[in-house]
């Protein structure tokens, strides 16, 4: 697997994690954030917090998420734009849960360009589907009941090929086998980033 470095020079620090629900993106984001010294930003956690707060945004999000669908693009763009403007993300970030579609990827590119920045890489964590269903069933989250979990996987299957193609065309995509121990997945990601120790 070839290494890649930041388009801005130096180590890659603006990264997105792509993968199906239950692939371990959140776990890897937390580990890698410590390794790379950048914040792990989970849009899923941000959306769940909005729902828990019961705000107008939260109510809108709850309606959209309850059937396993994606939150609409304008809402997601607003959420991501605000989060990336915070001081802790000025030098980089690990974005987990966004973008999920080719359109959102283009929006993220525009958000970063408006800040004089660009994405350094997109990491695709791949896991067999039967393993994903087992993992999601074991998480016990409200949005992971069997019907919703299947709906989320179906949405992922429909949208992911175009998203992956988008990042492949830009030379930003690196694929990692997520069906192995957590520590091994981390090492493989770091190797892809040229950060192996």
Active-site positions read: 25, 100, 139, 141, 152
Residue 55 corresponds to which tokens in the numbers above?
Answer: 């705000």
Residue 119, judged by CB atoms within 10 A of its CB (0-12, 13-18, 19+), counts as buried
Q: Are 88 and 148 contacting, i.e. CB atoms less than 8 angstroms apart?
A: no
- Quote the CA–CA distance of 55 and 194 in Å, as a whole number: 42
The three-state secondary structure class of 124 is strand
Residue 14 bridge partners (DSSP): 93
The three-state secondary structure class of 174 is strand
């Amino acid at each position: 697997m070839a290494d890649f470095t930041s388009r801005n020079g130096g180590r890659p620090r603006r990264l997105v994690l792509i993968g199906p629900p239950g692939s371990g993106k959140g776990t890897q984001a937390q580990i890698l954030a410590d390794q790379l010294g950048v914040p792990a930003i989970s849009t899923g956690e941000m959306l769940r917090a909005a729902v828990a707060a019961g705000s107008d945004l939260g109510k809108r999000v709850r309606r959209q998420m309850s059937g396993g669908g994606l939150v609409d693009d304008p809402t997601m763009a607003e959420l991501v734009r605000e989060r990336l403007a915070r001081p802790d993300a000025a030098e980089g970030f690990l974005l987990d849960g966004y973008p999920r579609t080719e359109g959102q990827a283009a929006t993220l590119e525009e958000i970063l360009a408006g800040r004089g920045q660009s994405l350094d890489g997109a990491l695709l964590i791949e896991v067999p589907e039967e393993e994903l269903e087992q993992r999601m069933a074991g998480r016990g989250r409200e949005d992971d009941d069997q019907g919703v979990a299947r709906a989320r996987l179906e949405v992922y299957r429909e949208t992911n090929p175009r998203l992956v193609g988008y990042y492949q065309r830009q030379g930003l995509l690196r694929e990692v086998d997520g069906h192995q121990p957590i520590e091994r997945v981390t090492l493989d990601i770091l190797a892809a980033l040229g950060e192996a120790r």
